[in-house]
Amino acid sequence: MRLDEALNASLDELKNLGLSNEIDVLGSPNGPIVHINGRDVLNFSSNNYLGLATDPDLKRQAIEAIWQYGVGSGAVRTINGTLLLHVELEKALAALKGTEAAILFQSGFNANIATIPQIVDEGDIILSDELNHASIIDGCRLSRARVIRYRHSDMDDLREKAEVARRENPDARIVVITDGVFSMDGDIARLPEIVAIKKRYDLILYVDDAHGSGVLGKGRGTVKHFELSQEVDVQIGTLSKAIGVIGGYVAGSQALIDWLKLRARPFLFSTAPTPADTAAILAAVKKLQTADDLVETLWARARYFQEGLRSLGFNIGKTETPITPVIIGEEKTTQAFARALLEEGVYAKAIVYPTVSRGAARVRNMPTAAHTEAMIDEALAVYARVGRRFGLIA
């Protein structure tokens, strides 16, 4: 069978199972209202938590950086691609995360696949939450360490596996890795309990705070939310969600950052982030340090939306953050439900396997600080109409 024939057969199978995904193209900025298929619709699919992706201050800083530095950095960081902007941003990220130092990457995915293989080696062990993000999973695969998955946020299971791992490998480096906020359910890692287990069994603690930075801890993240900055060895995250731009970072000790600058392959072999992106991120980080009102507005909108969905009778799971899944279960029904929402003017993406488990399909909603209560009321009215049509609510 030719390659195209095999691929087309696989694509047809995914479509029949309701596991295909159509990529939607925006004809507008990614704000609370977006232009799709020739019309404006309410946008509940963006990770732009604080509305910073279209913030005038960030745009102005990006434009000024282009005029000062050009459109590209021109080289990898270790040759001559490091700008003063990169250094200033890394200092600002370290201050935001409460660490000695930080390092900038081109994406949060790069941050994970760069870092995990550089802190463990053959003979070491990784204890990984079973619902960790794909980039963590791939970073673990790239390492030569043994990976042991523990049941999601199950502290008894983590404790038992840490005890066995330490007893059988007394000299090994053992790292426990968890998301700070889990992106599909919106629940928060039980960091205080994980820290206690870390101390008992001499573990290294690695937290991916992609969906916590800018959201929890007055914008400082999940680690700050629990006041555990001194107990977490590695903090990583993206700069494309609440920060509103693109990129990733690792924050930790000076020794960790110095090591990554010498050994992390995406840092060594990818051109440095652009001047415009770097300047916009720096403006966002500075804004986060003083913009408590933005974070408070985000949470107010999220609570309002979630209370409305619950009162209608939708299952939004166990979310503890603005991430708001409407859990439906069956994949084809979920895809059809999302299409019906869009027809009614609400853009909320269907999430199916392999992003979530089979039978756990959901429409994932992301209320933001840029949404107004009137917008949320309109979205809830659409949810009510479509939900009744599909028999999901009374």
Strand duo 174-179 + 125-129: pairing:
parallel
Question: Which of these is catalytic: 225, 241, 349, 371?
Answer: 241
Residue-level pLDDT at 21: 80
Select which of 46, 183, 213, 240 is catalytic.
Answer: 183
Among residues 211, 224, 287, 371, the one annotated as catalytic is 211
**Segment 355-370, tens digit of pLDDT:** 899 999 999 999 999 9
The answer to whether residues 111 and 105 touch, using CB atoms and an 8 Å cutoff, is yes
Give the position of tokens 């695969």: 141
Task: Give me the number of domains the chain comprises.
Answer: 2
Active site residue 287: no
pLDDT bracket for residue 122 (50, 70, 90):
very high
Task: Indicate the pLDDT class of residue 255, thresholds 50, 70 and 90.
Answer: very high
What is the domain-level CATH number for residue 350? 3.90.1150.10
pLDDT of residue 19: 84
Q: Would residue 237 count as lying in a domain?
A: yes
Overall size of the chain counted in residues: 394
In this predicted structure, what is the pLDDT of residue 286?
A: 94
pLDDT at residue 289 is higher than 90: no
Residue 6 lies in a domain: no
**Whole-angstrom distance, CA of residue 323 vs CA of residue 211:** 9
* pLDDT tens column, 167-206: 999 999 999 999 999 999 999 999 999 999 999 999 999 9
Token pair belonging to 18: 């309701």
Q: Is residue 89 part of a domain?
A: yes
Mean pLDDT for 100-129 is 97
Whole-number pLDDT of residue 280: 98
The identity of residue 50, as a single letter, is: L
* pLDDT value of residue 178: 98
Query: CA-based Rg of the chain, rounded to a whole angstrom?
Result: 22
| pLDDT > 90 fraction of the chain, expressed in percent and rounded | 95
Assess whether 190 and 97 both reside in one domain. Answer: yes
Domain encompassing residue 237: 56-288
**Mean of pLDDT values over 91-110:** 97
- Is 183 an annotated catalytic residue? yes
Nearest to 284 by CA among 321, 254, 320, 240: 240
Which residue would you say has higher pLDDT here, 387 or 292?
387
32 and 172, same domain (yes or no): no
**Domain-located, residue 358:** yes
Kindly state whether residue 5 falls inside one of the protein's structural domains: no
**E strand or H helix that includes residue 284:** helix 275-288
Domain boundary among 270, 288, 306: 288
The string of DSSP letters for 5-36 reads HHHHHHHHHHHHTT---PPP-BSS-SSSEEEE
pLDDT band at 103 (very low <50, low <70, confident <90, very high): very high
Indicate if 211 belongs to the active site: yes
- For the segment 44-63, the average pLDDT, to the nearest whole number, is 97
Query: Are residues 38 and 68 both part of a single domain?
Result: no
User: How far apart are the C-alpha atoms of 388 and 393, rounded to whole Å?
Assistant: 5
Q: What are phi and psi of 162, to 5 degrees?
A: -65, -40
